[in-house]
Structure 1
Amino acid sequence: MEKKTILIVDDDARNIFALKATLQAKSFYCVACPGAAEALELLKTDKEIDAVLMDMMMPDMDGYEAIPIIKSLENRRNLLVVAVTAQAMVGDREKCLEAGADEYISKPIDVDKLVKLLKEI
């Protein structure tokens, strides 16, 4: 089975480190960007990316702004985008999905749920 490449977009280096370590241990390749603008630049290229884990709360450009842009990119229309957020209030999931996210996971991340989701792509 081919390893999937996951793009982690998070402004907190500790979150990137933890997610990367966890996913690499589960046989995924990981690429990370500290912000949405960098992620968008990467996604405009032809680099192989199978899914994006998008932190929704970031300075400059947050996930709510970035996801519709990602989904508008010709080569990324069908890319799996998972909203990752510490916001787990009523309505947050719907807000993330309305922004164009395909799935929603709250922090602290349920690793089993995330891996199951990523194995489906």
Structure 2
Amino acid sequence: MNKKILIVDDDPRNIFALKLTLKARGYTIESCTAAQEALDILKSDPQFSVVLMDMMMPGMDGYEAVKIIKKTAETAHIPVVAVTAQAMPEDRQKCIEAGADDYVSKPIDVDLLITAIEKLS
């Protein structure tokens, strides 16, 4: 089955690099650069296998977006991997408490990311 992943990151360079890596491994990728846009995409199409959510974004951050995804009936089933440059142990805990299903720090270790995606989807 082809897995569909939504990448949410305010830095287009991060999206570009992740898209290339994940498409090369056979995933279908959609992306956006804002949390609110991600919520709109998920509402219109809740058939994503995983969301890769950058936690530090202007406007609505990833923490708030994850809470909304997990509280919304149509999207609560979609696993979210928090992707953040915040790499301290308490940052991981903060991501999990917000509702993220897993956590990968930047710079991204692709093998760790793929493991997280496969485990959740």
Shared topology, TM-score over 0.5? yes
The aligned counterpart of 1:71 is: 70
Which 4+ stretches in 1 moved above 3 angstroms? Answer: none
Amino acid at match of 1:15: N
Q: Secondary structure at the match of 2:6?
A: strand
Q: Secondary structure at the match of 1:74?
A: coil
Question: Alignment length, in residue pairs?
Answer: 120
The aligned counterpart of 1:103 is: 102
Q: Percent sequence identity over matched residues?
A: 58
Query: Which consecutive residues of structure 2, in runs of 5 or more, have no partner in the other structure?
Result: none
Give the superposed CA RMSD.
1.0
The aligned counterpart of 1:34 is: 33
- TM superposition shift of 1:47: 4.6
Query: Which consecutive residues of structure 1, in runs of 5 or more, have no partner in the other structure?
Result: none
TM-score when normalising by structure 2 = 0.95
* Higher mean C-alpha deviation, range 35-44 or range 72-81: 72-81
- TM superposition shift of 1:80: 0.6
2-structure distance, mates of 1:103, 1:95: 11
Amino acid at match of 1:59: P
TM-score when normalising by structure 1 = 0.95
